[in-house]
Amino acid sequence: MGGAFFITGTDTEVGKTMVSVLLMQALQRHGLSVLGMKPVASGCIPGDVGMISEDAEALLAAASFPVDRSLMNPYTFEPPISPHLAARDAKTEIDLWHIAANLNQLRQQADMVLVEGAGGWFAPISDNRDMADLARSLQLPVVLVVGMRLGCINHALLSVKAIEDSGCRLLGWVANRVEPRQLRFEDNLATLQARIAAPCLGVVPYLDSEAAASAAVDQLDLKTLLPLAPVPLEN
């Protein structure tokens, strides 16, 4: 069975999906077969094959081979609202066991599965469960995407503490430059590197071209991710 890890973010709109795609590409460059999973998605678009999540489509496109959309993206909701509200409106219960069963199927097919959460660590998926419960129930280590912008230090440190307090292992974090003109970017980055014990897996610049994205893939540090594979590869 393949390895797996969970991607969360310091907030919504911090580039989790983009960083997830870059990590998938980086792992593939190391010879691993990789699949993505988006267990819960809101803000979906009605399509010929049901509700379509742009995030899930990006993960499907980056995968090593095609898989059934409903397997990797079992819960989809149209309103662009918190998943617990969207699920309540749709009279749907998000079943963690169903998500776990789907993940196991994906892990039987690939060397590595990246599971992308929705929103931040405590984004609710029901009246009494959140993304932290999902990651914990799947027993997955975590990678945190930090959206580099004003307020990122507080959001990042709170997220790190929350992940650790939830009993999950933080494999590392990625600094994603979502605001290209962030003041004192290097100082903010240095502060995070000094205060977060887990390693920084990479600094993703503000991406404005395919060439920049490809270069960002090569700069990612996978030392804590590669050992999750069934037969760990050298970095």
Q: Which residues are catalytic?
A: 38
Rounded to the nearest 5 degrees, what angle is found at the Cα of 232, between the Cα atoms of 228 and 234? 120
Q: How many CB atoms lie within 10 A of CB 189?
A: 19
Give dist(CA 144, CA 132) in Å, integer: 12
- Determine the Cα–Cα distance for residues 105 and 120; give it in Å rounded to an integer: 25
Task: Pick the closest to residue 19 from 190, 193, 153, 200 (CA basis).
Answer: 200
Using the structure block, give the residue that is written with the tokens 């029901």. 126
Q: Which of 5, 120, 7, 106 is nearest to 64 (CA)?
A: 106
Q: In angstroms, rounded to a whole number, what is the distance separating the alpha carbons of residues 143 and 4?
A: 11
Quote the CA–CA distance of 123 and 129 in Å, as a whole number: 9
Distance CA 216, CA 200 (A): 14
End-to-end CA distance of the chain: 21
| CA–CA gap between residue 179 and residue 164 (Å, rounded) | 27
Residue 139, Ramachandran bin (φ over 0: left; ψ between -120 and 50: alpha; else beta):
left
